[in-house]
Amino acid sequence: MGKNYNRKEEVPGIIPRLNMKDEVDLSFPLEVEVGRLLSGRKLRLGLAESCTGGLLGHQITNIPGSSEYFMGGVISYSYEAKVAMLGVSWETLNTFGAVSRNTVLEMARGVKKLLDVDIAVSISGIAGPGGATPDKPVGTTWIGLVANDGEWAHEFHFTGDREQNKTASAEAALQMLLDYLSGKINR
C-alpha cells in the first residue's frame, strides 16, 4: 500500500527515515538512494525551493555524478520570484499564501516546465522564528511533487528551530521523492 501524501503529518524535529522496499538501502543517505534510482531510470529532476533556500539542491549535488539526473533548481523566496520564475499565479498566492498545497504544486509545475524534467519537487514553509500565522504555525511546510504520471502535495509540521526546520523540510522532500521512485505513493 502506498503512502497517502494528501494529509497532514505532525513531525517532531527531524523526521525519521521510513523503511523502504528491499531495493532501497538506507545505510546510505537518502540523496544517494534517490540519485541511484533517478540515474538507473534515466529520469531528470528539477527543484523549486523557498524556505530551504537551496539546501535540497545542495544535498543532491553533494553526490558525485548528480549532473547526470539533476538539471537544476530555482530558489524562489519571495512572491515576486515565485510569479516571475515559476509562473505561480498572484491569485493563488493572495488566496492561499506561499505555504499551501496550491502554491507548491504550481511551483513544481513551473520548474518542471522551465527545466524540461521528468520529476519536479517543490518546498515552501515557515522555518521560523517569525512568519507564523494562527493557521500556519512555525514549522508548517508543504512539499509538492509533479511527475509525468501525477501530482502530489503533503503538509508537514516540524517543531525545531529555523535550521532544524529547514533540514527536516529537505529530508522530507527527499523521502517523498524516494517514496515516489519506490512506488510507495498512492497513484
pLDDT, one tens digit per residue, over 56-96 is: 999 999 999 999 999 999 999 999 999 999 999 999 999 99
- Total domains present in the chain: 1
Q: Is residue 3 part of a domain?
A: no
Q: Is residue 186 part of a domain?
A: no
Give the number of other Cβ atoms within 10 Å of residue 68's Cβ: 12
Mean pLDDT of the residues in the chain: 89
Does residue 8 surpass a pLDDT of 60? no
Q: Determine the average pLDDT of the residues in 172-186.
A: 94
Q: Is residue 163 part of a domain?
A: yes
The residue range of the domain holding 13 is 8-181
Q: Is residue 187 part of a domain?
A: no
CA distance 122 to 114: 13
Kindly give, in sequence order, each residue whose CB lies less than 8 Å from that of residue 96, ignoring residues fewer than 6 positions away: 102, 103
DSSP letter string, 120-150:
EEEEEE--SSS--BTTB-TTEEEEEEEETTE
Does residue 14 surpass a pLDDT of 60? no
Tell me the pTM: 0.87
Q: Is residue 16 part of a domain?
A: yes
Instruction: Give residue 28's pLDDT.
Output: 74
Does residue 18 surpass a pLDDT of 60? no
Q: Determine the average pLDDT of the residues in 21-33.
A: 66
Q: Is residue 53 part of a domain?
A: yes
pLDDT band at 100 (very low <50, low <70, confident <90, very high): very high
CA distance 98 to 167: 19
Instruction: Give residue 168's pLDDT.
Output: 96
Q: Which residue has the higher pLDDT, 10 or 147?
A: 147
Here the CATH number for the domain that contains residue 13 is 3.90.950.20
